[in-house]
Amino acid sequence: MIIRSAQFIKSSTSLEQCPSPEKPEFGFVGRSNVGKSSLINMLTSRPRLAKTSGQPGRTRTINHFYINESWFLVDLPGYGYAKVPVTLKDRWIKSVEKYILNRDNLVTLFVLIDSRLNPQKSDLEFMEFLGINHIPFVRVFTKSDKLSKDALKKAIVLYNNKMLTNWDSLPVTFITSSVKRTGRNEILKYISNLLTSFQMVSDIGRNF
């Protein structure tokens, strides 16, 4: 898929403020600092589209980016950042949770996982929450440039084994590096296929 245009539309602090849910959208979620905003910039080849930072907790709102004037990428605030006051943390979690559970045009969520870390409780619990609520999601192992091929393989086998103690099967999985642009074609192809299915389903809906 060719990204012809990528436009920041708005930052929202609640589901109600989000753009009207008419176009398909793909959300990027995961712990603070995992590389959500960087991945959006890498996918769109626009390094300054989403704001990134070395400091965790940079993205604090739900940010909509309109792609090819037909669908959205959505940069979500990170979870699991200890330094944020509890009340603020609760507010973020509630607004993201509400968005995830109620956003009708959300096609799938990309759950980003830092490939350098052992399986984190917050990520495992978050994916369980998605499973229980039947929210479609895929995994993205980020920052793969920071690990050797061998270490990366080991980390993913470890992660899979950990998940398979709770899950019958594993979700679709991507490996990315926003520095080396690894995984870009694979993710864009995946989105493109889902957009085609989404279009077919809405065409059928319109004909009934």
CA–CA gap between residue 46 and residue 118 (Å, rounded):
31
| Residue whose structure tokens are 């994916």 | 127
Indicate which of Mg ion, ligand GTP, none lies near residue 54 (CB less than 5 to 8 Å, by partner kind).
ligand GTP
SS3 content of the chain, % helix, strand, coil (to 5): 40, 20, 40
CA contacts within 13 A on the Cβ side of 183: 23
- Strands (E) across 25-166 are located at 25-30, 62-67, 71-75, 106-114, 137-142
Considering the complex, state which of residue 59 and residue 115 has its C-beta at the smaller distance from Mg ion.
Answer: 59
Distance of CA 53 to the CA centre of its chain: 17
Mask for 32-71, x = binds ligand GTP (CB under 6 A): xxxxxxx-------------xxx-xxxx------------
| 13 makes contact with ligand GTP (CB under 6 A) | no
Query: Using CA atoms, how far apart are residues 1 and 68, in angstroms rounded to an integer?
Result: 10
Nearer to Mg ion, 92 or 198 (CB): 92
Q: Which is nearer to ligand GTP, 67 or 147 (CB)?
A: 147
Q: Which entry of ligand GTP, Mg ion, none binds 179, CB below 5 to 8 A by partner kind?
A: ligand GTP
Q: Is 177 in the site for Mg ion (CB under 5 A)?
A: no
Min dist CB 61 to ligand GTP, Å, is 10
Q: Does 146 bind ligand GTP (CB under 6 A)?
A: yes
Query: Does residue 59 bind Mg ion (CB under 5 A)?
Result: yes
Q: Is 186 in the site for ligand GTP (CB under 6 A)?
A: no
Residue 84: CB atoms within 10 A of its CB come to 19
Q: Which stretch binds Mg ion (CB under 5 A): 18-26, 33-41, 97-105, 144-152?
A: 33-41
Q: Two tokens at 12?
A: 């929202």
Footprint on this chain of ligand GTP (rule: CB under 6 A):
32-38, 52-54, 56-59, 78, 142-143, 145-146, 177-179
